[in-house]
Structure 1
Amino acid sequence: MAEADRRPLVAGPDGGAFGAVLGRAIWAVRAYCFIAAMWVRSTMAYRTSFAIMLAANFATTALDFAAIMIMFGQVDALGGFTLPEVAFLYGTSAVAFGLSDLLLGSAERVGRRVRDGTMDVLLTRPVPVLSQLAADRFALRRLGRIVQGSLVLGWAVSRLELEWTAGRVALLASMVLCGTVIFGCVFVVGGAFQFWAQDASEVQNAFTYGGTTLLQYPPTVFGRELVRGVTFVVPLAFVNWLPALRVLGRDDPLGLPDGLDLAAPAVALLCCAVAGAAWRAGLRSYRSTGS
């Protein structure tokens, strides 16, 4: 690898510690983009196969919303929420999770790489391990979930009887962005956990795939203890539940302080710090296969 490509890893004489961190972050993003682009080119070499897989991903995820539609064929409201309101929850959760799954979903393969020894290969390259792992086998077919969720979200926005002020629009954009970051951090923490428990991918899936399914339904249909758990333990409620209550003008079932439903950006930053610390701890604990 050329020396110019390595340069972001080293701080300049005037950059200091901040310059070093910024340089490593830029290099990590560049490396991720290089690897992802390679897999995209590989995928597009078989366009018909890609189109079929994309359609299958779209159809499979659409079945989740079809189940909600069937449910509303029998009831007028679910936990006090109308169909457009539930569709709003569904859309925000599906889009945020779909983006994080597209960008970081491959992090769930840590346990497999630890078991078969291919993690050692990643460590020998002058590229951040997380960038390599997250971009590995970049699955463009996952766009199907994002497109399907976006269509449901667009339909919900058009059917909700709300005045879409600049504040509501900004909060909706924040929900998608912060939700993507929070779900991405859950992927990274779950991957880090697999350095110690190599067969824990299903545990991770309970918080990622299970989490997005949970958030597609109103918090009022779940017990208060569960709502507290996804608010204060694994903060998935900040993906859409809490900010959506403000957008929809709904009361908080937990009676939390005013303003907490606007804390998603701060929670996302805190999740990034926790995920970074967990990943570094997991990587330091790795002792190679068979050791």
Structure 2
Amino acid sequence: MAEFVYSRLIGARLKSQMSYRASFAMDFFTQVLAQGYELIVILILFTRIDALGGFSQNEVLLMYAFAGAAFGVADLFAGQLDHLPTYIRTGSFDVLLMRPLRLLPQIMCSDIRLRRIGRITGALAVMVYALMHVDVAWSPAKVLLTVVTPIAGAVIYSAVWVVACSICFWIVEGREFANAVTYGSNAFTSYPINVYSRPLRWLMAFVVPGAFVAYYPSLALLDRQDPIGLPGWVGWTSPLVAALAAGVAALVWRFAVRHYRGTGS
């Protein structure tokens, strides 16, 4: 029954957006351009250097594409959590609590924006280009890794989104903190992690498991050794890391909701 309600909510949102096709087309194109701006930064960077952290331009583009596709999917389904501070401040969250539906899916289904598919499309286009220009010894396992990596990355990003936004139950104006973690993770994961300082690398790569979104899967796909010394099998663990991240996010979310006392407290 709940799944039926969620599907009806999503269907209504999508139908309303497709009613204005010109507006959708413009928004879609804008999202493609937004993804393209980040690509331009990388291309300009490689006009000055031959390698970044020991990786060629096309290898970095592969990491960028994996990260961009994963972030686009997460933004499509979990980006609505950015509105959580408003729900809490205005009392709308109390309304959600009264409905016989799970809280998190309610929020995630509340405002799905199809225009965000433009970011995913742009990243997938770069991914196809990069895969055609890097040296990969293809096997069935690597084909599966290529398909699974953006999905696992999207789960990791979504888990980070849930954990970061849960802080808003204690700090109502915590949206800036949440954005710094979520959007900052996207910027971090678009490049090889060995180019960052050690403290930032350990924080954003392993505490916030951004290294498993694109960097380590790319190493496994390219049969490259990790410059910071971790074994090669780590590149195949992104689905496991995604499952662990989702579990941690679920625990944090339940703890935060359980200690919510309403807007009057």
TM-score, normalized by length of structure 2?
0.95
Q: How does 1:121-270 map to 2 (within 5 A)?
A: 121-270=95-244
User: In the TM superposition, what whole-angstrom CA distance separates every residue of 1:256-275 from its partner, at most 9, and x where no partner exists?
Assistant: 24422222122111111111
Question: How far 1:81 moved relative to its partner?
Answer: 1.2
Whether the 8 Å CA contact 2:96–2:106 is kept in 1: the answer is yes
The alpha-carbon distance between structure 1 residues 278 and 93, as it changes in their structure 2 partners (threshold 3 A), is same
Q: Give me the whole-angstrom Cα distance separating, in 2, the residues matched to 1:163 and 1:256.
A: 21
Larger radius of gyration: 1
Q: Give me the whole-angstrom Cα distance separating, in 1, the residues matched to 2:173 and 2:70.
A: 26
Q: Give me the whole-angstrom Cα distance separating, in 2, the residues matched to 1:31 and 1:184.
A: 22
Residue equivalent to 1:41:
15
Q: How does 1:13-32 map to 2 (within 5 A)?
A: 27=2, 29-32=3-6
Question: How far 1:223 moved relative to its partner?
Answer: 1.9
Whether the 8 Å CA contact 1:122–1:132 is kept in 2: the answer is yes
Whether the 8 Å CA contact 2:188–2:204 is kept in 1: the answer is no
Q: Give me the whole-angstrom Cα distance separating, in 2, the residues matched to 1:139 and 1:289.
A: 28
RMSD over equivalenced CA pairs, Å: 1.5
Gaps of 5+ in 1: 6-26
Of 80, 85, 88, the residue aligned with 1:114 is 88
Of 237, 247, 250, the residue aligned with 1:273 is 247
The alpha-carbon distance between structure 1 residues 159 and 61, as it changes in their structure 2 partners (threshold 3 A), is same
Whether the 8 Å CA contact 1:31–1:132 is kept in 2: the answer is no
* SS of residue in 2 equivalent to 1:279: helix
Q: Give me the whole-angstrom Cα distance separating, in 2, the residues matched to 1:250 and 1:258.
A: 8
Question: How far 1:127 moved relative to its partner?
Answer: 1.4
Residue equivalent to 1:65:
39
Whether the 8 Å CA contact 2:225–2:232 is kept in 1: the answer is no
Equivalent position amino acid for 1:192 in 2: S
Q: Give me the whole-angstrom Cα distance separating, in 2, the residues matched to 1:166 and 1:212.
A: 28
Q: Which moved more, 1:240-249 or 1:91-100?
A: 240-249
The alpha-carbon distance between structure 1 residues 261 and 287, as it changes in their structure 2 partners (threshold 3 A), is same
The alpha-carbon distance between structure 1 residues 160 and 254, as it changes in their structure 2 partners (threshold 3 A), is same
Q: Give me the whole-angstrom Cα distance separating, in 2, the residues matched to 1:86 and 1:203.
A: 28
The alpha-carbon distance between structure 1 residues 181 and 30, as it changes in their structure 2 partners (threshold 3 A), is farther
Q: Give me the whole-angstrom Cα distance separating, in 1, the residues matched to 2:111 and 2:151.
A: 23
Residue equivalent to 1:74:
48
* SS of residue in 2 equivalent to 1:164: coil
Whether the 8 Å CA contact 2:162–2:249 is kept in 1: the answer is yes
User: In the TM superposition, what whole-angstrom CA distance separates every residue of 1:138-195 from its partner, at most 9, and x where no partner exists?
Assistant: 1111001000000001100011122222222122222112111111111111222211
Q: Which moved more, 1:233-242 or 1:243-252?
A: 243-252
Whether the 8 Å CA contact 1:219–1:253 is kept in 2: the answer is no
Of 90, 107, 118, the residue aligned with 2:64 is 90
* SS of residue in 1 equivalent to 2:169: coil
* SS of residue in 2 equivalent to 1:283: helix
TM-score, normalized by length of structure 1?
0.87
* SS of residue in 1 equivalent to 2:262: coil
User: In the TM superposition, what whole-angstrom CA distance separates every residue of 1:9-39 from its partner, at most 9, and x where no partner exists?
Assistant: xxxxxxxxxxxxxxxxxx3x54433222111
Whether the 8 Å CA contact 2:220–2:232 is kept in 1: the answer is no
* SS of residue in 2 equivalent to 1:194: helix
Q: Which moved more, 1:41-50 or 1:165-174?
A: 165-174
Residue equivalent to 2:75:
101
Question: How far 1:82 moved relative to its partner?
Answer: 1.0
